[in-house]
Amino acid sequence: MTALTDLLSLSAVRLDVDAADWRAAIRAAGQALTDDGISTAEYTSQMLANVEDNGPYIVIAPGLAFAHARPSPAVLRTGMSWIRLARPVPFGHDTNDPVGLVVALAATDSSAHTEALGALARALSDPTTATALERARTAEEVLTLLGGGQATTVVESAASATPQSVDAPAEPAASHHKILTVCGNGVGTSLFLKNTLEQVLDRWGWSPHVTVEATDTISAKGKASEAVAILTSREIANTLGDVGVPVKVVQDFTSTAEVDNVLRDTYSV
């Protein structure tokens, strides 16, 4: 099991970085990966090409872009970088622009970083932690917060951070269902969405009855017949087209409230 702080080093956390546009923001994230010995400059080009080819689906929540590409020889080891911009820049996303934080992932495979991404998704979906990360004054504070600690910057707890009671629907009639979460490469944003969906299923008590699988667009077309639904971004939904099962769009991959609503719509509960 790989912890989040095992993949993100102090030197790869950079705060108040100047970037003229989204390309410069991704280049800054890629440079941090390169400087930390995680990937080569070619991987930065691959992250840029991912957005150029698939659109700004990597903007997975308001103000947050998760830059990544497929595993390739340009990845030397699995790792991450954290780039907080001095001024937010637009990526071209309809609802989540502008972006003030770019988190980049370089992975050698599709599985080693799963637990770490789950921890990152949980941290960013918690309003108190997310606010503290926005206000962190040093890289050390960022790592402390991501590791589950408390930074020296005091943040008042938001009311929305208090867990809300959930009116859980009745269990699905069939013995077992599968839902696919899909992104361009199957190693990054789909894992974020998978984690958020699994949090909702846990709250509902449906986890024993629903399996969530993160996958890429090509594989999703072949696996769609196994699933009751696909959850993804608008850009990837357009790429998938008609796959024979409902394709549900999620705007904020870190929002359990939005995913709860999408899941209720999927099952008409």
Q: What are the structure tokens assigned to 106, written together?
A: 């370089």
Q: Do 203 and 168 contact (CB within 8 A), yes or no?
A: yes
Q: What are the structure tokens assigned to 184, written together?
A: 């361009």
Q: What are the structure tokens assigned to 156, written together?
A: 């008042």
Q: Do 50 and 69 contact (CB within 8 A), yes or no?
A: yes
Q: Any catalytic annotation for residue 209?
A: no
Q: Do 46 and 72 contact (CB within 8 A), yes or no?
A: yes
Angle, vertex CA 90, rays to CA 121 and CA 188, nearest 5: 30
Residue in the block written with tokens 């990837």: 236
Could you tell me which of 41, 40, 36 has the C-alpha nearest to residue 9?
36
Angle, vertex CA 73, rays to CA 9 and CA 13, nearest 5: 15
Residue type, 247: V
- Cα–Cα distance, 4 to 140 (Å, whole number): 14
Catalytic residue among 68, 93, 113, 177: 68
Catalytic residue IDs: 68
